[in-house]
Structure 1
C-alpha cells in the first residue's frame, strides 16, 4: 500500500506540472502568435522588449547601430571568414559572428563553440532514483558541492537520499560507452526545494563510488545578469532523455515566449530530460528545463498521440507534445537567495553565487534579490529556518563595480548607483594629449589586478565594436532622401497642425511613444561611428567646427573611460568613503577633471544626469574637450556684439550665457526637440534655459536652415531610438508650436 501511494503521489505531481505548463502556454497564445509574426516580418531584434534586446546586444559586445548595420549589408559572403559583413578578416570576431547568428544572417560558429560545449557538458549527469517509484532525470553541478535539478525529480530529502548522479554516462569518440562516475547525494548536508519554481538543490558526495573526485567534473556558473537570451534566439539543451546516455538538442530550439518566471521553446526533449540545463550560444545557462507542454483537450487535460486523454500509466512516450518549458535561471537564483539558512548550509548556498566567479566584462551587477516564491512554493533548508546569511566574500563582490560592454558599472555603496562611462581623447588641438593620470588616494586599499584587467577588457570591447560600427557605416549611403521622406510622412501621419497647443501635446506624445529603444549614454559606440558623421566621413566639433576622424575620438574617449572606471574602483575601496553623497561629489569632480568629447546641448546638470535624457542621441554632438568645458552648463545666449568681440574658438561666454561660434541652427533644433520630448525638465532652477530665451532658439533656427548633415543625423537616430526631431522634419512648425507649456 505504501508503494502504491508513493507512485500515485509522484504521478500526481507530474500530471500537475504538465497541466500548469499547458495552461500557461495556452494563456499566451495571442502573445506568442504576435511574437512569431514579428520574427517572420521584422526579425529577432524586434520580437522581445526593447530593453531586453538592448541588454542582449550589450552582453554580446554589440549595440543597435551594429545590429542595424548588419541587417542592411548585402547577404553575399564578403570575407574569408564566411561572414555576410563587408569587413576585413581581422575585424571579424566571435562577437560579430554571435550577433550574425542571432539575427539569422549566418550559421557559422567558431570551432571553440563545440569545445566549450564539451567542457560544460562534463558538469551534466543522469540522476537515478532507486527503489519504489524510481526513475531518471538530469541534473548539473552549480557549485563545487551542489547539484541542481527539478523538484519533481527530487521532491524531498528522502528521494534524494536514495538517488545517485552519474557523470560521463555517454558514448566516447569511438562510439563505445565511457565508464560513468557515480556519486551519492547527501541531502543531510544540504537540500533546498521549491515546488512552484520546480527546482531542487542538493549536496553531492565529494568522492564517487570508485574514488573519483567530484571536482574533476567542474560546475556551471549561474548568473542573474539580464541579456542572456531573447525571443527568437536558439538555445541548446544537454540532457539524458529517458535515462539514456547524454545527448544534446543543438540550436534548433527556438525561444518562442518569455514569461515572468518561465521560457517557452521548441526543442527535441523527452522524458528524463527534466532538470537539464538550457544554454544560449555562449554556453551560459538561461533556464532549468522542467516540463514539456502537452496538447490538451477543451478541459485542459493532456492528450495522447492517438487523441485520447493521456493517463500517467500510459507513459511519456504516448504524450502529444506542443512545446517545452524551462524555469528562468535568474528566478531560481532570486528564490535561492531568499531561503533562510545558517551555518554550513548558508556557506554552501553562497558558493553558488561566489566560488569560482570571474566577473565578465559584459555582465551587469546582479539585481537586488526579491522574493519570487508564491503560496505554492516550499522552501526548506537542511537545518531548518534561521536568518538569511550571505558570506563576506559575496557582500564584497556585490560592492565592486562590474563593467559592461556599454561602459556602465553598477555600484553598491550601500545603495545602487549606476555610473555611465563615455570616453575622451588623443593628441590634437583642444584634446587631451595623453591618458590622464590620477595619484592614488593614500587611504585607498590595494586594487585587485583582476579588476584592472576587466576594466581594460571592457573598454577594448567598446573600441572594437565602435570601429566595426564605423567600418560598416562606410559601406552605407550617407543619406537616402527618398526613403527618409517616406519615413517622415508615415511618422507624422496622425499629427494635426491646426492648433499650437494641441500640436505641441501631440508631438510630445509621439516622441515619447516612439522612443524605443532608449540607448544609454555611449557616444563612443553610437555618436562617433555613424550618427554624427559629416558626408566626408569626418566628425566636426559642434561649436568650433574643428574636424577629427571617428577613430581619433573613439580611442581618445576610451582612454578616459578606462581611467574613470579605475578611479571609481579606487573610490569604492577607500575606507574614508562615507556614503552616497560623498561618492557622488567625488565622481562629479572626476567628470569635471576628465570631460568627454561629446556635448549635451541641454547640460546634464539640468536633468540630474538621468536616462533617457542623458543618452538621447538627438542632443548629443561631437565636441572637443576644450569647447565642452568652455560652454559648461551656461544657457544659450545671443550677444549683440558677438561679431566684434574677442572670443574663444568655441564661441563667447559671459555670466548671462554662451553663444557658439558654429552650429547654432543644429543646437537650436536639438534644444527645441528636448523641450518637446521632456516638458518640465528645463527652467526649473537658476541658470537653466528660461522661457524668455525661446526667441534666441527660434532666430538661430530660421537663420541657419536644416543641412544634409542634420537630415542624416535625424534618419540615423530614428533607426537607433525610434523617434525623430520635428524641427528638422518640418522647420515651419517652429512658429506654429505653442512652446509655452514646456516650462515648469
Structure 2
C-alpha cells in the first residue's frame, strides 16, 4: 500500500503552493532532510523549485506505507507548515490533524481580573515613527535590475531579475550571479556576461513587468567578484531625486540571542513589486565576510541591501545557507539567509576601483 492516496497527493501540492513552497528551493532542500533515507536517496535536484516540489511530493506519495515512512511524512508536514505562509500553514495543519490527530494546543482564556498594565514582551521592539519615513527614502535607491539572456554572443529568450541599489550617484551594486542570468550553478561565458551587463537596465520605479519606468541603462561593468558574489555597474546617468545608500563600516558583534540584532531588506522578489522584510528579521551570526539572518527574501532579491534600523547598509543579500542547531521564535530552523558584508565588498572595491570607492557614501 502506498503512503498517500492520489487525492492526498493533490492536497499536499495545493497546500505547498498556497504556502509558497513552490517558489523556494531552499525550503524544499531543508524539508528533504526530514525524509527517511530510502526516500531521500531517490531525490534528484530539479531545474526549478516547482518541479522539485512535484518530485518531492511524488516520492512521498509513492513510498510504501511503513512506520518509518509515516514518521517521515509527519516530520515533513510539520516542517512544511513552519516554512509556509499563514494560509499554507493552516492547510498543512489540517492535513496533519486528519492523518495523525494533531492539533493546536488550546489557550486558556484570560481572566479580566488578572490583566496587567502594558508590558514590554521580552525586549522593546518599537521604533521611532520616523523609521517608516527613512525607510521610504532608502527604498528610492533600490531598483529591479532586468538582465537579458545572451548565449554564444546572441540574444536568447527570457530575462533574469535581481535587485540593485545605488552605491554612488552613478553606480549600483548587485549580485554577480544575477548578471550571469543562468540556472543555479551555471555561469555565462565572460563574453556573454559582459554583454548581459551592458544590456541590463535598472528600474527604480517598478511594480512588476507590466508597470515600470523606462529604467536606467548600464554603461559599464566596472568590477565583479566571484568570491564575494558582487558586481558594480556604472549607469548611463545618475537617476534624479535618488540618493545613494549609506554604508556602515562599524564592527558588528555576534548576536547574543535571537532578540539582540535585526536587519531589514528592501527587495524585488521574483521581479515583482518592491517589498521590505522587517518583521521576523533577527540576525543569526556574523563572520568576517558574511552576515546570516532570518529576514524573509525570495528569488530575485539577490543584490538587495541588508540594512540596520537606521537604514544603513550592512551587507549585500545573496541567498540562503543551511545551518545546524538554529532556532527562532521557538522553532528549529534548518537554513538562514546570508549576505556578503559591506566591509568586505568595500575593501575589495578599494583595491580594484579606488575612484568608485572614494565616492561611496559612508554612515555618519
Range of TM-score over shorter length: 0.5 to 0.7
Q: Residue 244 of structure 2 aligns with which residue?
A: 219
1:250 corresponds to which residue? Answer: 278
Aligned residue among 141, 146, 166 for 1:123: 141
Provide the residue aligned with 1:290 in structure 2. Answer: 318
Quickly say closer, same or farther: Cα 1:263–1:227, change in 2 above 3 A: closer
Distance 2:201 2:246 in 1: 22
**What displacement does 1:294 show?**
5.5
Change over 3 Å in CA distance of 1:262–1:76 after alignment to 2: farther
Identify the match of residue 340 of structure 2 among 284, 303, 327.
Answer: 327
* Cα contact 1:240–1:273 (8 A) shared by 2: yes
Q: TM-score, normalised to structure 1's length?
A: 0.28
- Tell me how far apart the structure 2 counterparts of residues 330 and 225 of structure 1 sit (CA, whole Å): 8
Matches within 5 A, 1:341-490: 341=353, 346-352=354-360, 360=364
Q: What is the aligned residue count?
A: 221
Query: Given that residues 234 and 251 in structure 1 are in contact (C-alpha distance below 8 angstroms), is that contact kept between their aligned partners in structure 2?
Result: no
Q: Distance in 1 between matches of 2:309 and 2:339?
A: 16
Distance change >3 Å, CA 229–CA 146, structure 1 → 2: farther
CA distance in 1, matches of 2:132, 2:206: 19
Distance 1:255 1:350, change over 3 A: same
- What is the DSSP-based 3-state SS (H/G/I as helix, E as strand, rest coil) of the residue aligned with 2:240? helix
Give the secondary-structure state (helix, strand or coil) at the position aligned to 1:245.
Answer: coil
Structure with greater Cα Rg: 1
Number of the residue aligned with 1:264: 292
In the TM superposition, 1:198-237 aligns within 5 A as: 198-206=229-237, 214-227=239-252, 230=255, 232=258, 233-237=261-265
Change (3 A) 1:257 1:216: same
Q: Does 1:108 align with 2:115?
A: no
Change (3 A) 1:228 1:181: farther
Secondary structure of 1:216 counterpart: coil
Runs of 4+ in structure 1 over 4 Å off: 227-231
Structure 1 residues not aligned, in runs of 5+: 1-17, 23-74, 78-82, 85-102, 172-176, 207-212, 297-319, 361-744
Structure 1 position 223, deviation (Å)? 2.9
Q: Distance in 1 between matches of 2:334 and 2:161?
A: 20
Deviation per CA, 1:343-372, whole angstroms, max 9, x where unpaired? Answer: xxx43342125xxx5x73xxxxxxxxxxxx
Q: Distance in 2 between matches of 1:229 and 1:125?
A: 30
Q: How far is 1:338 from its partner?
A: 1.6
Return the match for 1:163 from 181, 192, 200: 200
Tell me how far apart the structure 2 counterparts of residues 140 and 186 of structure 1 sit (CA, whole Å): 16
Counterparts of 2:235 and 2:265 in 1: how far apart (Å)?
A: 22
Cα RMSD, aligned residues only: 3.1
Aligned partners of 1:228 and 1:280 also within 8 Å: no
Query: Given the superposition, is the C-alpha separation of residues 258 and 227 from structure 1 closer, same or farther in structure 2, using an over 3 Å criterion?
Result: closer
* Partner of residue 302, structure 2: 274
Distance 1:117 1:228, change over 3 A: farther
Q: 1:135 to 1:269 in 2, by over 3 A?
A: same
Partner of 1:185: 218
- 1:503-514 equivalent positions in 2, closer than 5 A: none
User: Is the Cα–Cα contact under 8 Å of residues 191 and 202 in structure 1 kept in the other structure?
Assistant: yes
Tell me which protein shows more strand as a share of its residues: 2
Q: 1:684 — aligned with what?
A: none
Counterpart-to-counterpart distance in 1, 2:229 and 2:171: 16
Cα drift, residue 249 of structure 1:
0.8
Aligned-pair CA distance for 1:295 = 8.7
Give the secondary structure class of the aligned counterpart of 2:241: helix
Pairwise CA distance, 1:244: 0.6
**1:118 aligned counterpart, secondary structure:** helix
Matches of 1:223 and 1:200, distance apart in 2? 19
For 1:164 and 1:229, locate their aligned partners in 2 and report how far apart those are by CA, in whole Å.
Answer: 37
Give deviations 1:355-395, integer Å, cap 9, x for gaps: xx5x73xxxxxxxxxxxxxxxxxxxxxxxxxxxxxxxxxxx
**1:539-584 deviation digits (Å, cap 9, x = unpaired):** xxxxxxxxxxxxxxxxxxxxxxxxxxxxxxxxxxxxxxxxxxxxxx
Partner of 1:196: 227
Question: Is the contact made by 2:254 and 2:285 (CA closer than 8 Å) also made in structure 1?
Answer: no
Q: Is the 8 A contact 2:302 2:317 kept in 1?
A: yes
Quick one: structure 1 residues 257 and 243, their matched pair in 2 at CA, closer, same or farther if it must change by over 3 Å?
same
Relative to 1, partners in 2 of residues 1:287 and 1:217: Cα closer, same or farther, differing over 3 Å?
same
Q: Structure 2, unaligned stretches of length 5 or more?
A: 1-25, 31-115, 150-155, 181-192, 325-332
How far off its partner does 1:162 sit? Answer: 1.5
Q: Is 1:151 aligned to residue 176 of structure 2?
A: yes
- CA distance in 1: counterparts of 2:127 and 2:357, whole angstroms: 35
